[in-house]
Chain A
Amino acid sequence: MRMSIHRLLAGALAAAFIVAGPAAAQQKLKIGFITTLSGPPAIIGKHMKDSVELALDHLNHKVGGLDTEVIYGDDQFKPEVGVQLAEEMLKKHQVDFVSGIIWSNVMMAVMPVVTGAGHIMVGTNAGASPLAGSQCNELYFSASWNNDQSPEALGKYLTDKGVNELYVMAPNYQAGKDMVAGLKRYYKGKIVDEVYTKFQQTDYQAEITQLRSKNPKAVFVFYPGGMGIQFVKQYVQAGLRDQIPLYSVFTVDETTLPALKEAAIGQYEARFWSPDLDVPASKRYVADFEKKFGYTPSYYGAQSYDGIMLIDSAVRATKGNVKDVKALVHEMRKANYNSVRGKYQFNVNQHPIQDFYLLQAVKADNKDGAAMKIVQKAFEKHKDAYYQECKMKW
């Protein structure tokens, strides 16, 4: 008798699975998230992945009301690996959206694959200029910014503040040149010298000695990742922190503060977001992030969180009909969600028109002993420099 009840139950369960299985599968939303999870830049990938996980928590694992599965991929910093991942996600996992991507060169390779397959790509860091201009695409949205915008905002701030003399340094590769070009678009003062160092250079003592001999009023640098840690440490050790103000973009942030600590204090950065930004969605994101993961989130994470929220808003508005890509694009263009950067609008190239801030690293009562704080708004409703080259009609 007992046996037969067990069997009956098992049979009923199996039947329930058979009935429920396909129905649930239809309702499921799949998002492919590509970032870098190996090598030195993996710290950025960790910030992004953790933020996606937090976004899923906040949405009860139902993006746009649908059961959601996120498939993560490690691009290993390589465009060709990114393309492989995107193809695998689209064909094998049948994802509805692809999101993430740190590097502009990876994005330039992956975006055509995703949009070519008729799916929406939501970039959450890479800000390659062609994608904001001549190669803009209806199916490509940026939840971050165009590369030039941060140095542009800093250039504008320096001009507004009357800093009439600037010494400029960047690594000698495309992004380094782009950052300096962006700065110059809005910086009207005199550039004392423009120094390009070897990509992945470790020692900057020679350049710092040259810099000091010119005695400029201020210094602008772009040194992402480990290069930034090295440059800033050596700048401070040379005793220049109190003598010449150091302004930078993508150099000092929450991914490098744990390695810099008090050496960062006094650094100026321009950025669209900071953990202390006074926006309810941002405050919730930062507080819950710190609680769940035990460290301070960075803009890389904030953008990735925002990317998921953007997808959520569109899927919700189309009542979960993710096959209707046209309707999804229509809804995403409205940017109708509580962004961590506050309310914003998309430009015609589907890149945000947003505010930029001047940040300063200050002493703080946290694990790192330092934190980024907003000093003032540097650029209001800033449009990127390329949208006029985008021929898209809404």
Chain B
Amino acid sequence: MTWALVFEQLLNGLQYGVMLFLMAAGLTLVLGIMNMVNLAHGSLFMVGAYFAVAAMQWTGNYPLSVVLAFAGTLVVGMLVEVIALRALYNRDHLDQVLATFGLILFFNELISIIWGRGSLYTALPSWLQGHVTLFTGSRYPVYRLVVLGVGLLVAVVLWYVVTRTRLGMLIRAGASNRTMVAALGVNIRLLYTVVFGFGAALAGLAGLMAGPIYAVQPGMGELILIQVFVVIVIGGIGSIRGALVGAIIVGVVDTLGRAFLKPFLATLISAPAAEAAGPALASMLIYLLMAVVLALKPAGLFQSR
């Protein structure tokens, strides 16, 4: 029974980690390759979720709404890059933080004006609402498994693109030495726009998949963004592999901490003390983990350059 529970929590952790990975993949690319701190990545997550809801209401077709939301966020991401962020590449990180923080406020307000302050309703099509019985005997929501599958698929596709294609080669080259890449005649501006657009689209994908699980409301991206920064710091800035490993570590550690830390502490210290310390410690766990990783490997688990 307890091993079945541990297995199910590991599955939860993996699924949560994969969700974080979708966000982290785009952010780590932008940070690693373009050397750009983008706080507004959470806003693109929100945009993806809202586009999915709007497209679902408009078309009534779930797969189509997924495609539209993905494409929509891609376009928004590229527009943001062309209009706002291009001017900031040569500025220092503080300017980028300020500007992208401004973008957060801009997007939150714009979304409130268009869709209102309240949370939006999102439903899943009936074929995604069911449950599967795990071999441990407990029922698991199909949708969570779909999220897990999509996340792993994206990881494989990204791995293929980055290591096996010309675009990936340019991305890796850009991460190593951007001046040299530009000197070799590569249109680095266009490359940046494309990378940023796909980073945004991945955030949008995370957002559209989060919609049916989380509350679709203005500011929803900021709640998850902090964990995503932890992921890329642990994984190593600019590394897709690092983002995947970091995300899964963070997802599993966070989930297991929330589930088992309190009962575990109760066997060591008194029950009331565990009652107080358990939740507090569980919510700090990923940050402690990050501190340990930074102390041992300051550049993260996987260095990109």
Residues of A within 8 A of B (CB): 39-40, 42-43, 46, 172, 194-198, 200, 202-203, 205-207, 209-210, 212-213, 225-227, 229-230, 233-234, 237-239, 255-256, 258-262, 368
Answer whether A42 and B112 are a contact pair too, CB < 8 Å, given A194-B275, A226-B119, A261-B121. yes
B210 to chain A: closest residue by CB: A202
Q: Which residues of chain A come closer than 8 Å to B262, judged between CB atoms?
A: 195
A sample of 6 cross-chain residue pairs with beta-carbon separation below 8 angstroms, ordered by A number, consists of A198-B282, A205-B12, A213-B5, A226-B214, A237-B129, A259-B120
**A205 lies within 8 A of B220 (CB):** no
Instruction: Tell whether B41 is near chain A: CB-to-CB under 8 Å.
Output: no
- The proximity string for B residues 248-265 relative to A, scoring 1 for CB distances below 8 Å and 0 otherwise, is 000000111011001000
B138 to chain A: closest residue by CB: A212
Q: Which residues of chain B come closer than 8 Å to A205, judged between CB atoms?
A: 12, 15-16, 144, 255
Instruction: Tell whether B213 is near chain A: CB-to-CB under 8 Å.
Output: yes
**A259 lies within 8 A of B279 (CB):** no
Q: Which residues of chain B come closer than 8 Å to A229, judged between CB atoms?
A: 119, 214-215, 217
**A200 lies within 8 A of B223 (CB):** yes
B220 to chain A: closest residue by CB: A226
Instruction: Using C-beta atoms within 8 Å of the partner chain, give the interface range for chain B.
Output: 35 or more
**A371 shortest CB reach to chain B, Å:** 15
**B215 lies within 8 A of A259 (CB):** yes
Q: Which residues of chain B come closer than 8 Å to A233, judged between CB atoms?
A: 212-215
Instruction: Tell whether B63 is near chain A: CB-to-CB under 8 Å.
Output: no
**A206 lies within 8 A of B255 (CB):** yes
**A222 shortest CB reach to chain B, Å:** 14
Answer whether A237 and B143 are a contact pair too, CB < 8 Å, given A39-B218, A40-B217, A203-B16. yes
A210 to chain B: closest residue by CB: B259
- Given contact pairs A259-B217, A260-B121, enumerate 19 new A-B contacts (beta carbons under 8 Å): A39-B219, A172-B280, A194-B275, A197-B279, A203-B213, A205-B16, A206-B13, A206-B16, A209-B8, A209-B138, A225-B215, A226-B119, A227-B215, A233-B215, A237-B129, A237-B212, A238-B141, A259-B216, A261-B121
Instruction: Tell whether B177 is near chain A: CB-to-CB under 8 Å.
Output: no
Answer whether A258 and B283 are a contact pair too, CB < 8 Å, given A207-B259, A226-B217. no
**B92 shortest CB reach to chain A, Å:** 29
Instruction: Tell whether B169 is near chain A: CB-to-CB under 8 Å.
Output: no
Q: Which residues of chain B come closer than 8 Å to A368, judged between CB atoms?
A: 121
B119 to chain A: closest residue by CB: A259
Interface of A, secondary structure class, is helix
Give the distance in Å from the alpha carbon of A297 to the alpha carbon of B217 in the complex: 19
Q: Which residues of chain B come closer than 8 Å to A196, judged between CB atoms?
A: 279
**B12 lies within 8 A of A43 (CB):** no
Contact of B259 among A206, A225, A226 (CB under 8 A): A206
Give the distance in Å from the alpha carbon of A172 to the alpha carbon of B281 in the complex: 12
Give the distance in Å from the alpha carbon of A203 to the alpha carbon of B8 in the complex: 15
Q: Which residues of chain B come closer than 8 Å to A203, judged between CB atoms?
A: 16, 19, 213-214
**B219 lies within 8 A of A198 (CB):** no
Q: Which residues of chain A come closer than 8 Å to B1, judged between CB atoms?
A: 213
Instruction: Tell whether B305 is near chain A: CB-to-CB under 8 Å.
Output: no
**B9 lies within 8 A of A206 (CB):** yes
Instruction: Tell whether B93 is near chain A: CB-to-CB under 8 Å.
Output: no
Interface of B, secondary structure class, is helix
**A69 shortest CB reach to chain B, Å:** 25
**A234 lies within 8 A of B213 (CB):** yes
Q: Which residues of chain B come closer than 8 Å to A226, judged between CB atoms?
A: 119, 214-215, 217, 220
Find the residue from B120, B131, B141, B219 having the highest chain A CB count within 10 A.
B141
A255 to chain B: closest residue by CB: B118
Contact of B12 among A195, A206, A213 (CB under 8 A): A206
**A172 lies within 8 A of B117 (CB):** no
Contact of A258 among B119, B139, B275 (CB under 8 A): B119
Instruction: Tell whether B123 is near chain A: CB-to-CB under 8 Å.
Output: yes
Q: Which residues of chain B come closer than 8 Å to A43, judged between CB atoms?
A: 116-119
Give the distance in Å from the alpha carbon of A256 to the alpha carbon of B108 in the complex: 19
**B7 shortest CB reach to chain A, Å:** 10
Give the distance in Å from the alpha carbon of A258 to the alpha carbon of B117 in the complex: 12
**B84 shortest CB reach to chain A, Å:** 22
Instruction: Tell whether B224 is near chain A: CB-to-CB under 8 Å.
Output: yes
Answer whether A239 and B259 are a contact pair too, CB < 8 Å, given A172-B279, A229-B215, A261-B123. no
- The proximity string for B residues 100-112 relative to A, scoring 1 for CB distances below 8 Å and 0 otherwise, is 0000000010001
Q: Which residues of chain A come closer than 8 Å to B120, judged between CB atoms?
A: 258-259
Find the residue from A43, A197, A227 having the highest chain B CB count within 10 A.
A43
B120 to chain A: closest residue by CB: A259
**A259 lies within 8 A of B121 (CB):** yes
**A46 lies within 8 A of B117 (CB):** yes
- The proximity string for B residues 278-298 relative to A, scoring 1 for CB distances below 8 Å and 0 otherwise, is 011011000000000000000
Cβ-closest 3 pairs across A and B = A259-B119, A226-B215, A229-B215
- The proximity string for B residues 188-215 relative to A, scoring 1 for CB distances below 8 Å and 0 otherwise, is 0000000000000000000000101111
**B9 lies within 8 A of A209 (CB):** yes
Give the distance in Å from the alpha carbon of A178 to the alpha carbon of B226 in the complex: 28
**A55 shortest CB reach to chain B, Å:** 21
**A36 shortest CB reach to chain B, Å:** 10
Give the distance in Å from the alpha carbon of A322 to the alpha carbon of B222 in the complex: 46
**B141 lies within 8 A of A42 (CB):** no
Q: Which residues of chain B come closer than 8 Å to A194, judged between CB atoms?
A: 275
**A230 lies within 8 A of B255 (CB):** no
**A197 lies within 8 A of B258 (CB):** yes
